[in-house]
Amino acid sequence: MTHESPAPNSQPTMNRSAPVTASTVLELEQPLPLDCGQALVGARIAYETYGTLNGDRSNAVLICHATTGDQHVASPHPITGKPGWWDRTVGPGLPIDTDRFYVVCPNVLGSCMGTSGPSSPAPDGQPYAMRFPVITIRDMVRAHMALLDALGVEKLHSVVGGSMGGMQALSLAAHWPTRVERVLAIAATGEMPAQNIAFQEVGRQAVMADPNWQEGAYYGTGKSPDAGLAVARMAAHITYLSEATLSEKFGRRLQDRESKSFGFDADFQVESYLRYQGSAFTERFDANSYLYITRAMSYFDLADECGGQLADAFKASKARFCLVSFDTDWLYPTAESRKLAHALNAAGAPVSFVELSAPFGHDSFLLDVPELDRVIAGFLSK
């Protein structure tokens, strides 16, 4: 396998004036086996690291990102220029202290920030598009493990993730039980619930209903399914927030006007906000990646992968677990973490489980929740 650093994260066929990311990219020499039965040849894994691996290689923390996140956990996003998505959590002296830990954050398989995904070139030089194999959360973790092999990390101090990142953390603990000592899964689930599968399906249908999607073969055509992807993002974005956040942040306030327009403009602030969120998302994310990653999430079912009982997923693990949920998160509610806690208890695994009070809904794991900082710092220090 080869490392390139810094490598342009070329997305030659995406319709954007693409800035490049300076993330390091690992190209796997061996085909990466996948749950679907195929193997991915020439898979690339883009990642960021922070801090230094210590002499006995015992201080590596793997951070797994959420659905539309990326490897820029604590460094500016190369397209938007915004700070890293967990800038407030990862860094010197922060809860995941890069003075102490060697932090690795890879872009997940199927994504569009340098790791292989549907927008990447297939062996024939053309973008995979829908020829990219359908991947799973475990496949994402397989890629992470290949990266850790390449980095010389045999055993992780910890794996940490929120939302889909938490699912990767749990998948790692279940399927590579000897390779991690601490597992911190925030606002996650062990089995994707039906309501979430439903919302994920709506997002995919919104993309696929856009004629510019062109059965996924939109790369290089000058057209991309931005309208459909924006609708998908708008719907998903509502699910990331709490009703209370929406009421407090926007309520029924009008946007730049004194009275209703009696038309179909974005009269309300919340409408304007959502339209912006939808539109901005299309600037930084590939529509096919959205299909593949939401598909991986809907397929996620640790119990099914491990013989039918969630507890069996953790039988072989020697790790300590910490589960965090948020009281206003209705997308991955506390009940999901509680199910995980019960399964871990049944498996005899050491687990602490805390529901935090935070007003921001599912997005709480990304936002200013000081108690979460304390939980993270405390769990990693023990």
Residues designated catalytic: 163, 329, 362
Report the distance separating Cα 287 and Cα 213, nearest Å.
Answer: 8
Of 48, 210, 305, 363, which one interacts with a second copy (CB under 8 A)? 210
Phi-psi region of 93 (alpha: psi -120 to 50; beta: other; left: phi over 0): left
- In terms of CB distance, is 56 or 264 closer to a second copy? 264
Q: Does the protein bind a second copy through residue 211 (CB under 8 A)?
A: yes
- In terms of CB distance, is 2 or 205 closer to a second copy? 205
Residues in region 144-183 near a second copy by CB under 8 A: none
Residues in region 219-278 near a second copy by CB under 8 A: 227-228, 230-231, 234-235, 238, 241, 243, 246-247, 249-252, 260, 262-264, 266-268, 270-271, 274-275, 278
Answer yes or no: are the C-beta atoms of 1 and 25 closer than 8 Å: no
Stretch that binds a second copy, among 55-63, 104-112, 204-212, 313-321 (CB under 8 A): 204-212
- In terms of CB distance, is 74 or 227 closer to a second copy? 227
Say how many CA atoms lie within 13 Å of 17 toward its Cβ: 1
- In terms of CB distance, is 105 or 291 closer to a second copy? 291
The Cα-based distances of 281 to 78, 81, 239, 242, 349 in angstroms read: 14, 13, 15, 20, 39
Of 70, 191, 305, 363, which one interacts with a second copy (CB under 8 A)? 191
Of 19, 29, 30, 36, which one interacts with a second copy (CB under 8 A)? 36
Query: Which pair of structure tokens corresponds to residue 14?
Result: 């995406």
Strand partners, 366: none
Q: What secondary structure does DSSP assign to 4-19, as a single string?
A: ESS-----TTSSS---
Report the distance separating Cα 344 and Cα 34, nearest Å.
Answer: 26
- In terms of CB distance, is 25 or 287 closer to a second copy? 287
> Strands (DSSP E) along the chain, which ranges?
2-4, 24-27, 32-33, 39-40, 44-50, 60-64, 90-91, 96-97, 102-106, 158-162, 182-186, 320-326, 351-356
| Site residues for a second copy per CB under 8 A | 35-37, 130, 133-134, 191-195, 197-199, 201-202, 204-206, 208-211, 227-228, 230-231, 234-235, 238, 241, 243, 246-247, 249-252, 260, 262-264, 266-268, 270-271, 274-275, 278, 291, 295, 298-299, 301, 304, 330, 333
